[in-house]
Amino acid sequence: MRALSSFCLAKLCVALFAWWLCPEPASAETRVALVIGNGAYASTAKLLNPSHDAEDVAASLKRSGFEVLQGIDLRQADMQDLTIRFARAASKADVAMFYYSGHAMQYNGVNYLMPVDAVLSDEADLKRFVRVDDIVNDLQQAKNLRILILDSCRDNPLAESLKRSAGMTRGASIGRGLSKVEAPRGTIVSFSTQSGQTAADGSGRNSPYTTAFLKHIEEPQEIGEVFRDISSDVYDSSGRTQLPELSLSIIGKFYLNGPVSVTVAPAAPQAAPRPDPCAAAEAHWKAADGIGTLGAFEDHLARFPNCIFATLAKARIEGLKQKVALAPATGNARTAKDFDGNWDVTLNCPPTGKAQGFTRALSATVANGVFHADAQSQGAVNRLEIDGQIPADGKTTLSARGTTGASTYTLNNLAPGSPYAFTVDAQFDRTRGTGKRNEARACGLVFVKR
């Protein structure tokens, strides 16, 4: 009995030693992706690349360990069914990714994805589309990392028909491309071009954005670096005309395919040329300037300390630090009522195309944080009103609506009295503020408290 016990003990020790040398693999990270490519539209222009884009992206993500739900040329019912399946899968995943290639549009600041059988005769038809906000909510169920990719900023002819329909009934904001989506915490949002702009479908098998995505997504780099490289590639390959919109809100480092160890190889007979350390500086600066935070500018300066925008980054950093230093103590925190009072507003629109530039003054009031400005000429033409809510941090989006004045000041030579609408991204402090128009043409606004 004692000999048997010794034998069992020895066998147990051998087993434990073997387990120590070859431990069981840790539980695998669960990754799920929904990939959709819609191109065979029945009621608007067909797109050649989305089916290829979806096929190639799905294959790439499978190689990176994703369980992929894939749909090509989906009708409304099929698209809804697939997004429901994705929502259920994302709730059990560590990493969730949504990729869409095809037609999309924005209406009153909301982004919509378009099934191939969709029609768009009026606003009610938008219920047949998939709201990007719903996809973002589904992604948030994943535990660690969420990624939203929309290669869908192509020009959509149906948006024009809806614009004409909405213009006959009431003011509506229907901008080019897509409306900006701020990344929630733990999320990466990447559009094929900047918000309010349109992107090329491309003449090859894949769109310019998807071409860059396929080039970099399997690289053993940190995920933020991967998407910055994708943006830089699209910007360079398009002749610096198409810059992807990128918003990252992640803490820590995430890798889809790495990191990997690096082995030093014997010296080659001829050293390879050194890459230009400033090659991606311009694209990165545009992204950092668009984000506008202290961290974004510090990140740019750390990456490109000796490049063209380094001095400007230092100035922005210093300005933001001074603003923080001058900010009131927490005990005197700003509230929405701090903006209450009378304001002077100046709208400046430079010449765009054949449209002449103009400057317009408006009078505004703020009461309990509610902003209202108006400028009204005699009759029903050349009217403008701007409304919105200013929160305590002063960052807001205002809604503007009105009727056109003289045709020479409009982009499409509209008749006087034609209705129009747009949104304004604005930032207020106690006595001043600035804003920019989001749709149609680039206009700036300055707010000064009396």
Same domain, 234 and 296: no
Same domain, 316 and 404: no
Same domain, 244 and 221: yes
Q: Is residue 428 part of a domain?
A: yes
Same domain, 160 and 299: no
Radius of gyration from C-alpha coordinates of the chain: 27
CA 7 to chain centroid, in Å, comes to 65
Same domain, 215 and 308: no
In this structure, are residues 447 and 428 in contact, taking their beta carbons and an 8 Å threshold?
Answer: yes
pLDDT for the residue numbered 24: 37
| pLDDT, block means (10 residues), the chain with 450 residues | 44 43 50 95 84 95 94 94 95 95 84 88 84 94 94 61 45 55 89 72 82 93 92 86 86 77 43 72 77 80 86 85 65 72 90 86 90 75 88 88 86 83 87 87 89
Range of 294's domain? 281-325
Q: Is residue 237 part of a domain?
A: yes
Same domain, 119 and 220: yes
Same domain, 372 and 304: no
Domain boundary among 249, 269, 296: 249
- SS3 assignment, position 398: strand
b/e sequence 7-26, b meaning 16+ C-beta within 10 Å: eeeeeeeeeeeeeeeeeeee
pLDDT for the residue numbered 175: 47
Q: Is residue 256 part of a domain?
A: no
Q: Is residue 94 part of a domain?
A: yes
pLDDT for the residue numbered 433: 92
Helix axis angle, 310-326 to 281-291, nearest 10°: 20
DSSP string, 142-166: SSSEEEEEEE--S--HHHHHHHHHH
Count up the domains in the chain and report the number: 3
Same domain, 211 and 75: yes
Q: Is residue 13 part of a domain?
A: no
Q: Is residue 259 part of a domain?
A: no
Residue 377 is part of a domain; what is its CATH number?
2.40.128
pLDDT for the residue numbered 67: 95
Residue 226 is part of a domain; what is its CATH number?
3.40.50.1460
Same domain, 62 and 185: yes
Same domain, 212 and 66: yes
Q: 148 - beta bridge partners?
A: 98, 189
DSSP string, 293-332: -HHHHHHHHHH-TTSTTHHHHHHHHHHHHHHHHHSPPGGG
Q: Is residue 60 part of a domain?
A: yes
Q: Is residue 330 part of a domain?
A: no
Same domain, 340 and 317: no
- SS3 assignment, position 448: strand
DSSP state of 392: T
Q: Which has the closest alpha carbon to 147: 233, 207, 78, 227?
A: 227
pLDDT for the residue numbered 306: 87
Same domain, 235 and 377: no
127 exposed, middle or buried (CB, 10 Å; 0-12, 13-18, 19+)? exposed
